[in-house]
Amino acid sequence: MAKHSKKSTNLWSTPAAQVLRATDDTRVEEIDFSLTPGFDGTKADAQELLAERGQVLSALQEKLYANGRSGDLRSILLVLQGMDTAGKGGMVRHVIGLVDPQGVDLASFGVPTKEEREHHYLWRIRNELPGGGKIGVFDRSHYEDVLVVAVHDLVPRQVWEPRFDEINAFEKELVDEGTLVVKVALFVSPEEQRTRLQERLDRPDKYWKYNPGDVTERGFLPQYRLAYQRILDRTNTDYAPWHVIPADRKWYSRLAVTELLIDALERLDLDWPAADFDVEVEKQRLANS
């Protein structure tokens, strides 16, 4: 259905959706985040390919949107997790920016507000689920409630521990209702993170992206890795699997997520919706108008 150029087929030795999918054996601490698993091209290759594959993604997204407008309730939910500087914002700008903004439901989850704290942690998440035909994008997500809360002991273990099962049940419900869930964890190496934070301190046009808390969090890297490993161990389900993306090279991580979205859309196997009117009658009405 989607065009596969010879080039794109050649540059991926293994499809992104396959090579990046977490398994029972995935160990976060053993992954080299500077690598580009499955992709044999250069940065220039990846950038050229991103533009080309962006058109494929955009065409598939329009078809999803068209079906949504015609009453199809299916949707995609991209869950983006990753530490500061891992490239979540750039992913939204450069990958989600490739498709029609009308077809995107974007939600960003920060420190819970007072109102949010008065509800179950999934309340704000449910409020932002994508409508039919949409690509929902979560910049952080319900996983913060088993991540930052565990790393910083914000709630006791007996509170966050049951959440893994709750999250699995929640995601099962989403999938059963027709939402294809694509979970992505972006990882950068401590060295690359330092470089990116340094850039934010060296360039006045990047100050706004800098938060002193980011340096504080660097002291908790081992705890974050542990917490992410726990997330993979507990929530990497068949119906909502995780993808672990080495993100030291932005050109790789962006291309990889583009491929994951194309793969998800292709799995929906969409056609253009049929006319819900009589085409010949309407042609005549238009001719007479």
Q: How far is the CB of 152 from its own copies (least distance, A)?
A: 17
Gyration radius from the chain CA atoms? 20
Q: Does 50 bind its own copies (CB under 8 A)?
A: no
Q: What is the 3-state secondary structure (H, E, C) of 130-199?
A: CCCCCEEEEECCHHHHHCHHHHCCCCCHHHHCCHHHHHHHHHHHHHHCCEEEEEEEEECCHHHHHHHHHH
Q: What is the Cα–Cα distance from 78 to 96, expressed in whole angstroms?
A: 10
Q: Does 219 bind its own copies (CB under 8 A)?
A: yes
Helix (H, G, I), strand (E, B) or coil at 2: coil
Q: Does 106 bind its own copies (CB under 8 A)?
A: yes
Q: Which residues pair with 12 in a beta bridge?
A: 39
Token pair 């238009």 is found at 286
CA-CA distances (angstroms) from residue 70 to 26, 74, 271, 277?
40, 11, 12, 12
Interface residue with its own copies among 89, 116, 124, 140 (CB under 8 A) is 89
**Contact 134/104 with Cβ under 8 angstroms?**
yes
**How many amino acids of this chain bind its own copies (CB under 8 A)?**
42
Within positions 121 to 160, which residues make up the interface with its own copies, using CB under 8 A? 139
Q: Does 120 bind its own copies (CB under 8 A)?
A: no
Q: Which is nearer to its own copies, 67 or 141 (CB)?
A: 67
Q: Does 165 bind its own copies (CB under 8 A)?
A: no
Q: Does 3 bind its own copies (CB under 8 A)?
A: no
Q: Does 275 bind its own copies (CB under 8 A)?
A: yes
Interface residue with its own copies among 121, 138, 210, 251 (CB under 8 A) is 210
Where on the chain is the footprint of its own copies (CB under 8 A)? 66-67, 69-70, 89, 92-93, 96-97, 99-102, 104, 106, 108, 139, 194, 197-198, 201, 204-205, 207-210, 212, 215, 218-219, 272-275, 277, 279, 282-283, 285-286, 289
